[in-house]
Amino acid sequence: MTNYCSKCGTPLTDGNPTCPRCGAYEAPVGNQPLGEQLNQDLGKVERTYLFPAFRLLAFVSMLFIMLGAVWGGYTYLSLTPDTAIDYKDVKVHINPPPADEDSAKAIERKLKGLDIPANVAKQFKSEENRNILVGWLQRLDKEQRQDFVYNLAEIIDSAEKNNDDLKTVINAYKEIKLQKLVRSDIECK
């Protein structure tokens, strides 16, 4: 079997891997081991098809990852807390109840149907404190308001028994209770 030069087509003599006409090196096909030929063929397939396919796959994957990161960042940043104020809050601020009115009745008048324990009414008897309590309660629905007030009464009793600073205890209670109520609303929805 005669082998030919792949560059110029000149017949190659047996045993001589260089072309006598152009000098190109040609490994004789018939004399190559089968494994070496297979490696050359696989190398061509890898270079021609597999490497470009994997490069394309890597590019598309990175593109999706970057788009996902941008979308996730946008979604995270767009979740801003609600700082809206209700008209009721403004009205309470503009028109507070008369100072001589009984504090429990003033709170109940503003939040109809709410049962105010005596110790809560005692702590919120000043006009300013009543408005603060009303502001806290107006954000809540009816069931949450009553729960807030009854729980506050228990906290005030415990604080008085332990001779704790009531103002600090009541403010801490408000923060903790409102956070729990907001979390329970989110979990229910």
Amino acid 113: pLDDT: 76
Residue with tokens 């005669």: 2
What amino acid is encoded at 73 in this protein? G
The span from the CA of 75 to the CA of 14, in Å, is: 72
- Residue 163's H or E segment, with its range, is none
Mean pLDDT of the chain: 78
Share of the chain above pLDDT 70, in %: 74
Cα–Cα distance for residue pair 18/25, rounded to 1 Å: 4
Confidence of residue 5 (pLDDT cuts 50, 70, 90): confident
CA 79, 142, 145, 186 dihedral sign is negative
4-8, 47-51, 121-125, 147-151: lowest mean pLDDT where? Answer: 4-8
Q: pLDDT by residue (tens digit) across 32-87?
A: 554 555 566 666 777 788 888 889 999 999 999 999 999 988 887 777 665 667 77
- pLDDT single digits (tens) 136-160: 888 788 788 888 899 999 999 999 9
Alpha carbon distances (Å) from 167 to 19, 50, 87, 106, 147:
102, 73, 27, 20, 20
Please give the model's pTM, rounded to 2 decimal places: 0.44
**Which spans in the chain are helix H?**
34-45, 51-78, 87-94, 103-110, 118-123, 127-138, 142-161, 166-188
Closest by Cα among 173, 176, 144 to 157: 173
What pLDDT, on a 0 to 100 scale, did the predictor assign at position 114? 81
**Tokens 């979308």 belong to which residue?**
71
